[in-house]
Structure 1
Amino acid sequence: MCAIAGLTASDDQTALARILQKLAHRGPDHTGIWQDPDGFISLGCARLITTDPDPVAHQPLVSEDGRFVLVFNGYIAGHRRLIDGMAGSGTALRSQSDAELVLHLLACAVSKDNDVAGVLGGLSGQYALAFWDVVEKRLWLARDPLGIKPLYVAWNGEGQGNLAFASELIGLTEFGNHPFDEDIQSNYLAHLFVPAPQTGFAGIELLEPGTVLRWQGGTVTRSKINDPGQVKQRSSGPIDDVRLLVRQSVADAMDVDCSLGCLVSGGFDSAGVSAIACDIARAQGKALPPAFVMGFENSTRDETGAARRLCDHLGQDLCVVPAPETASEIYDALIAGLHGVGAPFANPSLVLMHNLSKRVGQDVRVCLTGDGGDEIFGGYPRYRAAMLYDRYWQYLPSPIRHLLAGLGQRFGSRRINRFLQGGRFDRAGVFGFWNNRCVVPELRARLAGAVDVPVGRKQGNLHDQMMAFDRDITLPGNQLVMADRCGMAFGVEYRPPLLGHDVVQAAAMIPAATHMKDGPKSVWRQVITPYLPDGHLDHPKVGFNPPVAEWLVKLGEYLWGNEDRVLNAIFEQSGLTHDQQKACWQRAKSGDDFDMSLTVWALLVWQVWQTQKPTKIGGEDMAKPVLDRAVAAEIT
């Protein structure tokens, strides 16, 4: 894991050194800079050593003939097997570094005029990289197909001319002049984050997952790396096949030269990964990785009991990290998390992930997670709702669907009500309704078109479109952002084995109906049952969610005081009447409407972000002091 950065048309070492200093939390072990002899580009890397601590593996890496240079952030699954295979064929690398492996493979491909995207499509892992051809003065930037690792690109024009790139937005403060774009609010409210390629700053993009960007003399071309999830479905194969692929992916993620741990909860994505990791460690004669869980004392959302039973069964040490409770603790973690993301980000679990990562970073450098389990194995209730719509609901006459939607408010379940409300529409309409996270009708009306079916999925059925949307848009823009920015703030590399290339491909080949045959994640349940204690799969899912309604009240009072000031601050740019504001606030803070709580939380975060964001990137530092409570009170 590293921070990478670069500037074209630059031989200014001090500028790149300042960028890397701002990214030093991502790579505290070694910093290196390479400059093109003709001044075309400067490349830099701040390295967190997880494999091969030998200095020969430090970056930037230069090929033996001096023609190619690489900076690389991430890891390649099974890299030692690939390196050993090359050695058996007579090609010996200087190190056991996966970055050197990538350098060699790309150098061979470009030397033979082969496609960079094709080479990367044959690798499994999580990465962002920059690859420079000294002779032809060509630069390739690439991001893994699932968007696990980030890469930001800033332009000094409309996508032409010179560029800068960095692993985080804060690394681009030395380049150009990029004002903040207030128009991103619609996308932000609909998604609860700013989806790629948008960043909120004009002229800066977050490279989309699976993109290879080639730059040469100001001319830009783009291509796509093969997506492991874009495969034809077949009838379900043996569960044992999927189990073997998951086991191999976990083993690959554990192949490190540093301390290793696991995140666990009461759910069974992280539990399954942790259980398999313990089984592998025993088979290899190694110490079991310690586990970490977020604890909510005296709360129904606390999952430490289930996590402790799991770890006792596995023989694993468990560290319980207390969730923040006071308004100041919540606020400070929120500000730190937003600073890392560099954009408004309304998943309240960002606060939890920040605090959890702070504790994890004290013990381990690499930590396995269960991220991606819901998206690739069919874990969200919306997927079953989409199947119901595809099979039956869309064939009901429109008047009947509208009649049932009108009855939706009488049902106590928000999920039933949301299904009936969305069921009024045709397929395109229901997709937008169910995936738009803003539930205030007056605001939703302004967000038309903010949520759409991913490109290439327009002709699929609704549940496939839902799963593709979550995997292609929400997963890299939401959960994986939290894991990367919060982990890297404390020198922790989170690895999600369930997003291994072969695992994603195998899961995609199984029909969605099979995944949900006996309830959510039927296939995954069968895969991990042999590893888990009896009854663990029966534990109700709580999710990695804080008490949002309670936090709204605490932060509202902490920042703005009485309720009128809270409403004025949170709903300042909403355009809602006072009565509408009050109705939303009452529903949000009641704790009975989680969707409304999330929407109001998003509005609160937007207002907090307004006090923290830079007016532009370039020419000034993004970093600002944490907003003092007294200053916050003056906002309104």
Structure 2
Amino acid sequence: MCGILGWVGKRPLEVERYRAALDTIAHRGPDGAGDWSDAEAGVWFGHRRLSIIDLSHAGDQPMHSADGRYVMIFNGEIYNYVELRQELSALGASFTSHSDSEAIIEGYRVWGRKVVDKLNGMFAFMILDRTTRTMFGARDRYGEKPLLFARGDGFIAFGSEYKALLSLPGIGRGYDDFRVLRAAVNPSKGLDADPQTAFDAIEQLLPGEAIAFDLQRLEPEIWRYYAPRYDASRAKAKDADVFAEFRELLTDSVRIRLRSDVPVGSCLSGGLDSSAIVCIARQLVGDDAEYNTFTGHFPGTPADEYHFAKVVIDATNVKSHLVEPTVDRLIDDLPDFIWHNELPTGGSSQFAQWCVFHLAKQHNVTVLLDGQGSDELLGGYETYFALYLDSLRETGDRARLDAEMPQIEARYPGVLTPPSRALRDRLPFRLRHMLANRMGKGSSVLYAIEPGIAQKIMAQDARTRQDQFHPLASALAEDSFGGFLTTLLRYGDRNSMAHSREVRLPFCDHRLADFALSLPPHLLMGEVQTKRVLRESMRGVLPEDIRARWRKQGFNPPQDLWFKSPRLQTMVRDLFASQSFRQSPYWQAGYWNRILDRAVAGEAGLGWILWQPFIIESWRREFFGRLDSAAPASPLRTAA
């Protein structure tokens, strides 16, 4: 796990400026730093190392192949590197380290671009072929690791974080207000689902994409090397066989993600996903091995799930560590939180995640397994039930449809759009917007944005149907590989790297995706269950109190209570009173003040709404101010 930065161009190299830019992401790799350049080719590579596998200098980067032909910088982990090294050795490859990184560079020597098909892991890498004077790189299938790039007059730069690229010469700092606002309304859109990022000068590889270009023309070719694959044979599989195979796949996913030369632990919320991982990990490491878990809790509030986490802790005998994210800590940490996240976050749950990773750092656990990705892949959100029912209609499963629809409505009241909301949504949007602002009612960010911009946002938020899948699987594929999960993975990458921790996600394994998305709808959400395939596969593994939890509770701090804090209220009121906010072409300042008044008076559910202008305006001030004053973090070791 590391940070990378590179420059390829036809102008003279400005190595000291590149090194200073690399220092802005020193947090991604505090264990080592190096750079390499070829002035004739116009190439500079920089790398910050967080040592996880092969802690010796043999694993340092930039990494060179034995014959010197290839040079690589790589961020991430390849979990099946042991098997790849064995396969490559049988094909004549030799290794000088025990690192996973070398499996990529040797794999490229043997398989060329098809090396990406062999990798099971999270990764972003660039490889220079000094003989053909070409560059090849790729981003992992889920987009766990970022690969950002910028093109200018005679150069291409690429790296792990925006701040590093924005510190390079020739890369402007302009950004797109509309994309930022669009993400405030729908986090699945605007910032991570498109090749163009919020910053005008910076693009990104999407999940499962690769890039190649030659050093002379600098015209990148970008293509998708991975998309979830539909296997029609799954439709006829026996339920018991499906559950058994899923359990085997998930167990193996956890197994290979436990590979590490530094301590490994887990984030544990008390939910189904993180609990499953902790229980499987305990089985794999054995009863006598110390295994640490890290939990955020919010005592005395409805947001607290610690009592569920305690069930897992007692059942597995893990060593538990707790942290309580508070509104005062949020205010104190806000400048650093914004700096490291680089873009506005969707809610305060990302700050709770920040606190958990910091807790792991305090206890010297470098690698953390986490349950992210299960909800989007397996149908974990109650809103997916409408798509589940659509899938039953489309597949002609009328008996199941008729039996389960009333049961879903009974267990999850209101999850199928209630008639009152359906009637409201049929009113013209501008009329709803006008009434909300005139009467001070409503709880949508859209009502607090200039109506023309709000309508443009709504027009761009429709789902795209993937024909090979039924409606539920299509939505799960979209949300997992370019939708909401991609944004959550950005949060996880930035928050973990801010504290120099590596987070590994067993549910983000492409073998699980190819398996789950080929299942008929009733195995995903049948029997009135979210994530049915996971629940059934975990019988006898998970404590029953956890396995049978029907109501999902996200990892969310008590935002409504936080906005009653005098300190936070003062910050938000000052922000709303500022000239820049009142004169904004997109914020409806009066409506925002009424939203705050309603929240302070005790109206529930407004904390998430208030978070949006608070974090966006704080980001505008904090991130760019710090970017201008960013100073070098530590000296570099220059690679030979």
> What is the 5 A alignment of 1:515-554?
515-518=524-527, 519-539=529-549, 540-554=551-565
TM-superposed deviation, 1:494: 0.2
Q: What is the one-letter code of the residue matched to 2:191?
A: V
**Hey, what's the Cα distance between the residues in 2 that align with 1:77 and 1:242?**
19
Q: Is the 8 A contact 1:50 1:258 kept in 2?
A: yes
- Does residue 272 (structure 1) correspond to residue 276 (structure 2)? The answer is yes
Deviations 1:279-306 (A, max 9, x none): 10018xx623200100112112211222
Retained in 2: the 8 A contact 1:43–1:71?
A: yes
State the partner residue of 1:175: 169
Counterpart of 2:124 (choices 128, 136, 145) is 128
> Counterpart in 2 of 1:612?
622
Q: Is the 8 A contact 2:3 2:49 kept in 1?
A: yes
1:245 aligns to 2:244 (yes or no): no
Identical-residue share of aligned pairs (%): 24
- State the AA in 1 paired with 2:377: I
Note the C-alpha offset of 1:520. Answer: 0.3
Judging changes above 3 Å, is the alpha-carbon distance between structure 1 residues 322 and 60 closer, same or farther for their aligned structure 2 residues?
same
Question: Matches of 2:468 and 2:81 in 1, distance apart?
Answer: 37
Query: Could you give the per-residue CA deviations for residues 131-179 of structure 1, whole angstroms, max 9, x where no partner exists?
Result: 111122211231111000011111215xxx4111111111111231312
For the 8 Å contact 1:233–1:511, the answer to whether it is kept is: no
CA distance in 1, matches of 2:320, 2:265: 10
Q: What is the CA-CA distance between 1:523 and the residue it aligns to?
A: 0.7
Deviates more, 1:271-280 or 1:211-220: 211-220
Measure, in 1, the Cα distance between the counterparts of 2:359 and 2:380: 28
- Give per-residue Cα distances to partners, 1:405-463, cap 9 Å, x unaligned: xxxxxxx966455787469999xx9xxxxxx9845384642413332334x72685542
Q: Contact conserved, 1:5 with 1:171, CA < 8 A, in 2? A: yes
Which of the numbers 184, 187, 207 marks the counterpart of 1:189?
A: 184
> Could you say if the C-alpha distance between residues 381 and 586 of structure 1 is closer, same or farther in structure 2, counting changes exceeding 3 Å?
farther
Residue identity in the other structure for 2:161: E
Name the amino acid aligned to 1:12: E
Residue 142, structure 1, aligned to residue 138, structure 2: yes
Distance 1:361 1:354 in 2: 11
Deviations 1:499-546, CA, capped at 9 Å, x for gaps: 112122211221233110121011101122221223222344321011
**Counterpart-to-counterpart distance in 2, 1:83 and 1:563:** 55
Give the stretch that moved more between structures: 121-130 or 76-85: 76-85
Instruction: Tell me the residue number matched to 1:155.
Output: 151
Aligned to 1:76: 78
Equivalent position SS for 1:176: coil
Which segment is superposed worse, 532-541 or 361-370? Answer: 532-541
Give SS of 1:319's match.
strand
Cα separation, 1, equivalents of 2:418 and 2:594 = 19
Deviation track 1:538-569 (CA, whole Å, cap 9, x = no partner) reads 34432101112222333642315589749995
What secondary structure is seen at the aligned counterpart in 2 of 1:535?
helix
Corresponding residue of 1:262: 266
Change (3 A) 1:147 1:563: closer
| Alpha-carbon distance in 1 for matches of 2:376, 2:490 | 15
Q: Is the 8 A contact 1:439 1:599 kept in 2?
A: no
Does the 8 Å contact 1:589/1:597 carry over to 2? Answer: no
8 Å contact from structure 2 (residues 206, 482) kept in 1: no
Query: Aligned residue for 1:214?
Result: 212
Query: TM-score, normalized by length of structure 1?
Result: 0.84
1:165 aligns with 2:158: yes
Q: 1:570-589: per-residue Cα shift (whole Å, max 9, x none)?
A: 895545373x4455445555
8 Å CA contact 1:11, 1:39 repeated in 2: no
d(CA) in 2 for partners of 1:11, 1:564: 45
The RMSD of aligned alpha carbons is 3.2
The partner residue of 2:54 within 52, 75, 79 is 52
CA contact (8 A) 1:31 1:46 kept: yes
* Mapping 1:210-359, distance limit 5 Å: 210-216=208-214, 217=216, 218-228=218-228, 232=232, 234-235=234-235, 236=237, 237-282=241-286, 287-326=289-328, 329-359=329-359
Distance in 1, Cα, partners of 2:261 & 2:418 = 48
Q: Residues 592-603 of structure 1: matches in 2 within 5 Å?
A: 594=605, 596-603=606-613
Residues 94-144 of structure 1 deviation map (CA, whole Å, 9 limit, x = unaligned)? 22211100001112234xxxxx1x320232110000111112221123111
Structure 1 counterpart of 2:463: 453
Secondary structure in 2 matching 1:509: coil
Distance 1:492 1:128 in 2: 17
502, 515, 519: which one aligns with 2:511? 502
Q: Which stretch shifts more, 48-57 or 229-238?
A: 229-238
Secondary structure, aligned partner of 2:122 = strand
User: What is the rounded CA distance, in whole Å, between the counterparts of 1:560 and 1:89 in structure 2?
Assistant: 62
Change (3 A) 1:305 1:467: same
Alpha-carbon distance change, 457 to 438 in structure 1, aligned in 2, over 3 angstroms: farther
How far apart, in 2, do the equivalents of 1:562 and 1:615 lie?
Answer: 19
Inter-CA distance 239–390: structure 2 relative to 1 (3 Å threshold):
closer
Is the contact between residue 265 and residue 367 of structure 2 (CA under 8 Å) also seen in structure 1?
yes
Note if contact 1:147-1:209 (Cα within 8 Å) is conserved in structure 2: yes
Gaps of 5+ in 2: 397-411, 430-442, 633-640
- TM superposition shift of 1:487: 0.6
SS at match of 2:618: helix
Q: Give secondary structure in 2 for the equivalent of 1:603.
A: helix
Decide whether aligned partners of structure 1 residues 604 and 458 sit closer, same or farther in structure 2, where only a CA change above 3 A counts: farther
Alpha-carbon distance, 1:90 to partner? 4.1
| Cα distance in structure 2, aligned partners of 1:241 and 1:571 | 58
**1:576 alignment counterpart:** 588
For residues 263 and 175 of structure 1, the distance between their equivalents in structure 2, rounded to whole angstroms, comes to 39
Deviation at 1:233, TM superposition (A): 7.0
Amino acid aligned to 1:368: L
**What does residue 387 of structure 2 align with?**
386
Deviating more after overlay: 533-542 vs 228-237: 228-237
What is the TM-score when the length of structure 2 is the normalising length?
A: 0.83
- Shift of the 423–38 alpha-carbon distance from structure 1 to 2, 3 Å rule, reads farther
Structure 1: distance between partners of 2:250 and 2:41? 46
Deviates more, 1:353-362 or 1:484-493: 353-362
Q: Distance in 2 between matches of 1:530 and 1:91?
A: 43
